[in-house]
């Protein structure tokens, strides 16, 4: 059993934490822009990455885009791409002009492999053996048990919860509260691990959980919480929370 009596459960984000797309969409988008003569400043790239995390954290812009383009997926992704180019510090004119081309390229060419990193595969058995209750909480619209099954992860988790299951999405605390009720645990007994500061850290903290940010690329170097760059660090971090 785990030696830290205060922490009894570890909940995880799915996409970008347990499961990764390789190559990332960001890598393909940037490569396309560079091929077409766009210079990408490293500071602008970091700013755009932070914007992307903020956007997908159930932001007002995301909700507005879903409503505005609910009947046209192509328009949704074109608008998203325009916002992403603006976040890269491209001009409004350049972003508007490039967005349809970049969005079409991503739709046609981006076919990533879904993988589970080796540090995740090493760590999950250790945590399970240590006696922690474990679950996966995602902002996906639909249940994702099939994803856990296909990646060989199901055996490690007591349950999974999608935002669409309860119509509550991170960073709203309600999704975490549903998970705590299901596990019959308190927030103070539970750690949440995720890669998105805006959704995972802010959301879990609002619900009273202990957040741990998984940030292997250093997107949030100044985050006000425990940070790990590899899952190999997780068990030792949890022991001192």
Choosing from 109, 126, 158, the residue where a domain stops is 109
Q: What is the dihedral of CA 195, 201, 203, 209, to 10 degrees?
A: 120
Q: Number of folded domains in the chain?
A: 2
- Asked if residue 203 and residue 130 are part of one domain, the reply reads yes
CB contact at 8 A, 131 and 1: yes
Question: What domain range is 74 assigned to?
Answer: 24-109
Q: Kindly write down the DSSP assignment for every residue of 33-71, as one continuous string.
A: HHHTT----HHHHHHHHHHHHHHHTT-HHHHHHHHHTTT
> What residues does 159 pair with on adjacent strands?
135
Strand partners, 193: 12, 212
The answer to whether residue 226 sits within a structural domain is yes
- In angstroms, rounded to a whole number, what is the distance separating the alpha carbons of residues 120 and 18? 6
Collapsed DSSP state (helix, strand, coil) of residue 195: coil
Those residues whose C-beta lies under 8 Å from the C-beta of residue 222, and which sit 6 or more positions away, are: none
Q: How far apart are CA 88 and CA 31, in angstroms?
A: 13
Please state, in angstroms and rounded to a whole number, the distance separating the CA atoms of residues 193 and 199: 11
Identify whether 1 is part of a domain.
no
Residues 94-118: b if buried by 16+ CB within 10 A, e if exposed: ebeebbeebbebbeeeeeeeeeebe
Let me know whether 90 and 118 are in one domain: no
Residues 233 and 172 in one domain: yes
Do the strands 190-194 and 9-12 form a parallel or antiparallel pair, or are they unpaired? Answer: parallel
- Residue 123 is part of a domain; what is its CATH number? 3.40.50.1000
Looking at the fold, whether 69 and 89 belong to one and the same domain comes out as yes
Same domain, 212 and 144: yes
Query: How many angstroms separate the CA atoms of 208 and 215, rounded?
Result: 21
**In 3D, which of 183, 150, 223 has the Cα closest to residue 12?**
183
For 87-140, the pLDDT digits (tens) are 999 999 999 999 999 999 999 999 999 999 999 999 999 999 999 999 999 999
Per-residue pLDDT of the chain (241 residues; tens, 9 = 90+): 454 468 999 999 999 999 999 999 999 999 999 999 999 999 999 999 999 999 999 999 999 999 999 999 999 999 999 999 999 999 999 999 999 999 999 999 999 999 999 999 999 999 999 999 999 999 999 999 999 999 999 999 999 999 999 999 999 999 999 999 999 999 999 999 999 999 999 999 999 999 999 999 999 999 999 999 999 999 999 988 8
CB 140 within 8 A of CB 168: no
Contact 148, 160 (CB under 8 A): yes
């Amino acid at each position: 059993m785990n030696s830290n009596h205060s922490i009894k459960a570890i909940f995880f984000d799915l996409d970008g934490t347990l499961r990764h797309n390789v190559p990332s969409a960001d890598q393909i988008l940037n490569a396309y822009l560079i091929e077409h003569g766009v210079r990408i400043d490293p500071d602008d790239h970091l700013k755009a990455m932070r914007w992307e995390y903020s956007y997908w954290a159930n932001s007002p812009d995301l909700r507005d885009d879903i409503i505005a383009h609910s009947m046209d997926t192509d328009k949704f992704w074109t608008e998203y791409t325009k916002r992403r180019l603006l976040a890269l510090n491209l001009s409004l004119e350049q972003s508007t002009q490039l967005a349809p081309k970049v969005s079409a390229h991503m739709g046609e060419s981006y076919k990533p492999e879904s993988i589970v990193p080796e540090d995740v595969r090493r760590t999950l058995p250790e945590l399970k053996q240590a006696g922690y209750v474990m679950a996966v909480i995602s902002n996906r619209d639909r249940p994702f048990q099939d994803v856990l099954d296909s990646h060989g992860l199901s055996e490690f988790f007591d349950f999974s919860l999608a935002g669409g299951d309860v119509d509550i999405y991170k960073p709203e605390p309600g999704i975490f509260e549903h998970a705590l009720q299901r596990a019959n645990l308190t927030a103070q007994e539970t750690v949440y691990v995720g890669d998105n500061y805006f959704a995972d850290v802010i959301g879990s903290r609002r619900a009273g959980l202990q957040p741990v940010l998984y940030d292997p690329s250093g997107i949030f170097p100044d985050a006000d919480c425990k940070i790990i760059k590899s899952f190999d660090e997780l068990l030792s971090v949890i022991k001192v929370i």
